[in-house]
Chains A and B, each alone.
Chain A
Amino acid sequence: MIRFILRRLLSTALVLLVVTFVLYLLLNVALDFFWDLRASTSPNIAALYESRTRLLDLDTPAVVRYFKWLAGVGGCVVGQCDLGIAWKSGQEVTDQLQGAIVNTIKLITASTIVAIILGIAVGMISAIRQYSGFDYFITFVSFLLYSLPVFWVAVLLKQYGAIEINNFINDPTLSSWVPIILVCLAMGLFWMGALGGGAKRRLITFSAASIITFATIYYILASGWLQQPSIGIVGIIVIGAGAAVVMTFLSTGLKNKRVLYATLSIAVIGALLYMPLQYLFYYVEMNWLWMFGLLIVAIGVAVAVGLAFRGPDPWDTVRTTSFTAIIIAFLIFADRVLQGWTEYSNDPAINNRPIATIGASAPNMDGDFWLTNLDSFTHLLLPSIALILISFASYTRYTRGSMLEVMGQDYIRTARAKGLNERTVIMRHALRNALLPLASIIPVDIITMIGGAVITETIFGWNGMGKLFIDSMRQSELDPIMAYILITGLLAIIANLVADFLYAVLDPRIRVNA
């Protein structure tokens, strides 16, 4: 295994080396290093040309310059990085990169995770309901998403997802109820298609989903929730109990009372811990390490509760309670973040326009851990949606395809024949095997995401790698472009390796021959 990884690493590193070399030479031809001097009428124009040539070392052949650049990169191994300078601004590339890498990774990780979860869920349902109206609808939507240019969506998101929503938050008057009723009916139809069943069950699902959506929207509008969004203890109890029931349903089925009681007691424990945690959050300055520690504690409690309830298959119980605990921990976190909403939107730096369209964080904004996080989330919202829309479609299509293939296998028939219920067949036997090939498209998708991030970051002014690349291209700055190519290349190689490794570990049929 180690030999396999080393070999892969070596061969991709070589490829990266060749790619940087070729692109370096190409860029030397493509970029115009004197673009700002072309229209200049300055009397000392010759001297300016001369000094630019000296600054960028243009008298040296490009091949030699590449190896000089490579030597600078090689310095990173011994801790003396020299990636050159962005000549237009005079900044060191290493300085430019510092914030940019973190920002891009933040954006891409958030979008990838959400896209994978949504894509798998929708793709799975679409496969189970093959050739139904729901399936055709999802197929159409995924083709539509494939065809959408991301920059077009981003401009629309800015207009309707930020400007109009912010206006609405400041002045929540509805001009008509028609769109809301349409949304409710659409939700009803969606859930009806997704849950399926006979005519009677479909009718019940449809009306329940429509009414619940309507009630939620009505509550949000009537109670002024948009001005002061919060979850509160009531929300935590209701959503926590709902999560417990849903997780139990998905994992073992509601008939398994022992697991149901275990997850419900997790919800109760979460609600009981709500107040003490508020005190903790109030008196102790928080950071991500604390958050991580608390999450570990939550999972520990869940494992303990799961083991206490045991049941015929204790591992099942533990797994279900752990997932429930993660959801509830996330809820408490979200609740605490949202508590800062009023303070946040009244902040002069925000000026009552909470959903941001530009940048990765509000300038002149300082607050504690919670406030900076809230700020970060409101900025993350729109660019992530734009990125999720790109890759959601491919995950849906892929999950659907591989799920359909698995559902036709003999072992699925065997599982049904021995009397397992449909939920077990799908969740235990089909889904797990259907997800295996996904490991091989995740790296491809991450590359697509990085490419999509180039456009998204440019439009939303997100100071990440993609924006750095585009800005440098526009300014003809060679060194930052090369740094971009190097670092995204490295990120992609790592993502590929992780996916290969996961695939080999998850699927025993894959033989690694070094």
Chain B
Amino acid sequence: MSTNYDNQNSADLDEVGDNAIEAKETEGLSQGRIVFQKFLRHKGAMISIGVLAIVALFAFTALGVGAIPGWWQFTHTASGPVVNPGGAPTWSLSNIFSPGQHPFGQDEIGRDNFARVMKGTQISLVVMVIIGAVCLVIGTVVGALAGYYRGWIDSVLMRITDAFVILPVIVVGSILGVLVGGASGPMLGLALGAILWVGLARLVRGDFLSLREREFVDSARVAGASDFRIMFKHMLPNAMGVIIVNTTLIMSQAIVLEASLSYLGFGIQPPGISLGQLISEYQTSFATRPWLFWWPGLFIIVIALCVNFIGDGLRDAFDPRMKTIPSWRKMKKAERMAQKGAKR
């Protein structure tokens, strides 16, 4: 009785293993749908999205945005009485469920570190998103024009790319940072976006160069579509993978770049605040107040790591050669099932 049941079960599983997944993937789904489903299956990316969402939620609600107040009791500028000796965090492993007044500790004049780190995260995230948006727009448009029309716009783009091959981004970034004069986050984001788009433009150009030789572009042209329509209605969706993936990767670079510039003093400067600026301000107090150094650094790493993993997940999802590999355990299980089936 039981053997019979096993047999049937394994046959079912075989079918599930071999045909069903294959069938499900091709079952009249659009390309976008397939990519999206592949992305949803990428565990690292899913966890990263969750973590990033929580970090952003905390950063923006805790202190509020602009005139809207947040729920946290302190602001990043107000100094209060130092609670623990030296401003040590009130939050530790022993009282993990009651963080206390200053969970991340206080600095030497009693400002709340949690409020400062949250505010810094807020600004760093804003800078990151602005850089991403600027790169996305400029990089896509310039890359598309260069790849589609070739000619002078293409050679100019390639020469600009050459310029960035001979100078490190951080050097040009710090010159631009000084130029905008330690201004607000959005200004810095715009300035850095103005140099980081080059890599994306180059990749989009490459894609467009090969796409413009394809038949569907010819047929669109024969049908009387304008250049603009061909580029943005027909070709752009085909280059979407490259664009999305690389914008994400630029954003992960951007957050570290912003932190480095602020650390060097050419990005966001006090009284402005960002994660890099916090580390810069507190680096000398590492020996006495390590929490002032650990927390902002931790948030930079968490954000950059999450964005990197999301980028990786997107790359896997857009890559047509990429197949979902069953985990070691699933493979073993399938093998066992197959052996059982063979014995009978």
- Chain A contacts to B: CB under 8 angstroms: 11-12, 15-16, 18-19, 23, 26-27, 29-31, 131-132, 143-144, 146-152, 155, 159, 443-444, 447-448, 450-451, 454-455, 458, 469-470, 473-474, 481, 484-485, 488-489, 492-493, 496
Structural contact, A496 and B297, CB atoms closer than 8 A: no
B300 at the interface (CB under 8 A from A): yes
Would A473 and B178 be within 8 Å (CB), given that A15-B162, A131-B325, A455-B170 are in contact? yes
Contact B264 A458 (CB under 8 A): yes
Q: Mark B296-321, 1 if CB is under 8 A from A, else 0.
A: 01001100110011001000000000
In the complex, chain A residues whose CB is within 8 Å of the CB of B171: 451, 454, 469, 484-485, 488
A496 nearest CB neighbor, chain B only: B165
Chain B hits for A458, CB < 8 A: 264
Contacts A12-B166, A144-B301, A151-B259 given; 12 further ones with Cβ under 8 A? Answer: A15-B162, A18-B163, A19-B163, A147-B308, A149-B259, A149-B301, A151-B276, A152-B297, A454-B168, A454-B264, A488-B168, A492-B166
Q: How far is the CA of A144 from the CA of B256 in the complex (A)?
A: 12
Whether A444 lies near B178 (C-beta < 8 A) is no
Contact with A along B56-67 (1 / 0, CB 8 A): 000000000000
Q: Complex: how many Å from CA A492 to CA B176?
A: 21
Contact of A149 among B169, B176, B263, B266 (CB under 8 A): B263
Are A143 and B266 closer than 8 Å at their CB atoms? Answer: no
Beta-carbon nearest neighbor of A447 in chain B: B168
Binding site for A on B (CB under 8 A): 159, 162-163, 165-172, 174-176, 178-179, 181, 252, 256, 259-260, 263-266, 276, 279, 283, 286-287, 293, 297, 300-301, 304-305, 308-309, 312, 325, 328
Q: Are B328 and A131 in contact (CB under 8 A)?
A: yes
Identify the 3 closest CB pairs spanning chains A and B, nearest first: A451-B168, A147-B304, A30-B179
| A149 B300 Cβ-Cβ under 8 A | yes
Instruction: Output the least CB separation between A130 and chain B (Å).
Output: 9
User: With contacts A451-B171, A469-B171, A474-B265 known, is A150 near B166, CB below 8 A?
Assistant: no
Decide: A146 and B252 in contact? CB cutoff 8 A.
yes
Residues of chain A contacted by B170 (CB below 8 angstroms): 451, 454-455
Chain A residues whose CB sits within 8 angstroms of the CB of B305 once the complex forms? 143-144, 147
- Hey, which chain A residues are within 8 Å of B168, CB to CB? 447-448, 450-451, 454, 488
Among A149, A444, A492, which residue has its beta carbon within 8 angstroms of that of B297?
A149
* A19 adjacent to B276 (CB under 8 Å): no
Which residue of A18, A31, A148, A455 is within 8 Å of B264 (Cβ)? Answer: A455
Main secondary structure of the interface of B (DSSP, over half): helix
How far apart sit A492 and B168, CA to CA, in the bound complex (Å)?
9
Minimum Cβ distance to chain B for residue A135 (Å) = 11
Tell me the complex Cα distance, A234–B28, Å: 70
Nearest Cβ in chain B — how far from A28, in angstroms? 10
Contacts of B265 in A (CB 8 A): 474
Residue on B nearest A14 in the bound complex, by CB = B159
Partner of A451, one of B169, B266, B283, B287: B169
Q: How far is it, in angstroms, between the C-alpha of A317 and the C-alpha of B169 when the chains are bound?
A: 46
Measured between beta carbons, the chain A residues less than 8 angstroms from B256 are: 147-149
Decide if B312 touches A143 in the complex (CB within 8 Å). yes
In the assembled complex, how far is the CB of residue A459 from the closest CB belonging to chain B, in whole angstroms?
9
Assembly CA distance A30 to B181 (angstroms): 8
Chain A CB within 10 Å, residue with most, of B169, B171, B181: B171
Of the residues A11, A132, A144, A485, contact of B162 by C-beta under 8 Å: A11
Among A152, A488, A496, point to the contact of B167 (Cβ < 8 A).
A488
**A492's contact among B165, B178, B252, by CB below 8 Å, is which?**
B165
Known A144-B305, A152-B297; contact A30-B166, beta-carbon cutoff 8 A: no
18 contacts between A and B (CB under 8 A): A19-B166, A23-B175, A131-B328, A147-B308, A149-B263, A149-B301, A149-B304, A151-B263, A152-B279, A444-B165, A447-B166, A447-B168, A450-B168, A451-B171, A455-B170, A455-B263, A488-B168, A492-B167
On whether the beta carbons of B300 and A473 are closer than 8 Å, the reply is no
Give the complex CA separation of A450 and B169 in angstroms: 10
With a cutoff of 8 Å between Cβ atoms, the chain A residues found around residue B276 in the complex are: 149, 151
Q: Choose from A16, A31, A143 the contact partner of B178 (Cβ within 8 Å).
A: A31
A26 CB to closest chain B CB (Å) equals 6
**Contact residues in B for A496 (Cβ distance below 8 Å):** 165-166
Given known contacts A149-B300, A159-B287, A474-B265, A447 and B165 CB-to-CB distance under 8 angstroms: yes
| B166, B167, B293, B328: most-surrounded residue (chain A CB, <10 A) | B166
Residues of chain A within 8 A (CB-CB) of B283 are 151, 155
Pair B304/A12 contact, Cβ less than 8 Å: no
CB closest residue in chain A, given B161: A15
Partner of A29, one of B163, B169, B174, B179: B179
Q: How far is the CA of A378 from the CA of B324 in the complex (A)?
A: 47
Contacts of B172 in A (CB 8 A): 23
Question: Which of B163, B260, B325 is A150 in contact with, Cβ under 8 Å?
Answer: B260
Chain B minimum-CB-distance residue to A493: B166
Report Cα–Cα, A470/B266, bound state, in Å.
10
B252 touches A27 (CB 8 A): no
Q: In the complex where A143-B308, A151-B260 touch, is A485 in contact with B179 (Cβ < 8 A)? A: no
- Residue from the list B167, B260, B309 in contact with A447, Cβ < 8 A: B167
Min CB–CB distance A400 → chain B (angstroms): 13
Tell me, in angstroms, the Cα distance from A400 to B95 when the chains sit together. Answer: 44
Given A451-B169, A455-B264, A147 contacting B163 (CB threshold 8 A): no
**Could you say which residues of chain A place their CB within 8 Å of the CB of B163?**
15, 18-19
Q: Which of B168, B179, B181, B256 has the most CB of A within 10 A?
A: B168
Contact A146 B178 (CB under 8 A): no
**Min CB distance, B301 to chain A, in Å?**
5
A12 to B162, CA, bound (A): 7
Bound Cα distance from A359 to B300, whole angstroms: 28
A8 CB to closest chain B CB, in angstroms? 10
* Chain B, Cβ-Cβ closest to A16: B166
Q: Which residues of B contact A27 (CB under 8 A)?
A: 175
Q: How far is the CA of A481 from the CA of B175 in the complex (A)?
A: 10
Q: How far is the CA of A444 from the CA of B165 in the complex (A)?
A: 7
- Nearest-CB distance from A479 to chain B (Å)? 15
Task: Determine if B263 and A30 form an interchain contact, defined as CB atoms under 8 angstroms apart.
Answer: no
User: What is the CB-to-nearest-CB distance from A141 to chain B, in angstroms, rounded to a whole number?
Assistant: 11
Q: Could you tell me if A151 and B301 are in contact, using CB atoms closer than 8 angstroms?
A: no
B41 CB to nearest A CB, Å: 15
In the assembled complex, the Cα of A198 lies from the Cα of B41 at a distance in Å of 30
- Rounded to whole angstroms, the CA-CA distance of A455 and B174 in the bound complex is 11
Residues of A close to B260: CB separation below 8 A: 149-151, 455
- Residues in chain A near residue B266, CB distance under 8 A: 473
Say yes or no: A155 contacts B175, CB within 8 Å: no
